[in-house]
Amino acid sequence: MSQIQQQVHNKFKIFTGALQPDGSIGPLADDISRYVSESKIAPKSIGVEYLESARRLIVSLGYRDDEAGYPVSLHSVSLGKVNTSGADFNALEQKMAQASASLPNIICHELYITDEQEMLMVFMTHKI
């Protein structure tokens, strides 16, 4: 297992794009992957915020530029409509585990909810 110091980062890049009809981040994922590759950076984290009034996503990419870069991919996975008013999130946790099981080399993840109450999970994976 790697050392925590390798995960520590303090550089960020912001991306924005339209929410796709299926609720996913769509071509924004390719834009981020391309930026990482061209910049030769080491991505460490993502943040995703959905701006309902503008139907736009803002994605922040946390990275380091003082170590060797590596390619990544971003994947949007719908977890379905959710009821966040209850205290029991076991079903949602199971959906998250199922979604992650189909993706190798997950670096990190983020969640967002559309204005239709659909929850999507964005995974950043190491592209080998």
What gap in Å lies between CA 83 and CA 98, rounded to an integer?
18
What's the total number of domains in the chain? 1
Within-domain flag for 1: no
Q: Is there a domain that residue 4 lies in?
A: no
Residue 71 falls inside a structural domain: yes
Separation of CA 111 from chain center: 7
Print burial letters for 78-96: b (CB count within 10 Å at least 16), e (below 16). ebeebeeeeeeeeebeebb
Domain range for residue 79?
9-126
| Chain centroid to CA 90 | 21
Is 107 a domain residue? yes
Buried b (16+ CB within 10 A) or exposed e, 99-112: bbeeeeeebbbbeb
In a domain, 46, yes or no: yes
Q: How confident is the model at residue 98 (pLDDT cuts 50, 70, 90)?
A: very high
pLDDT, residue 77, reads 96
2: confidence class by pLDDT, cuts 50, 70, 90: low
Cα of 64 vs its chain's centroid, Å: 17
pLDDT exceeds 60 at position 1: no
The owner of tokens 């992650």 is 100
Structure confidence at residue 89 as a pLDDT band (50, 70, 90): confident
Which of 118 and 88 is assigned the larger pLDDT?
118
Q: Residue 3: inside a domain, yes or no?
A: no
Asked whether residue 2 is assigned to any structural domain, the reply reads no
pTM over 0.85: yes
**Looking at the domain assignment, is residue 52 inside a domain?**
yes
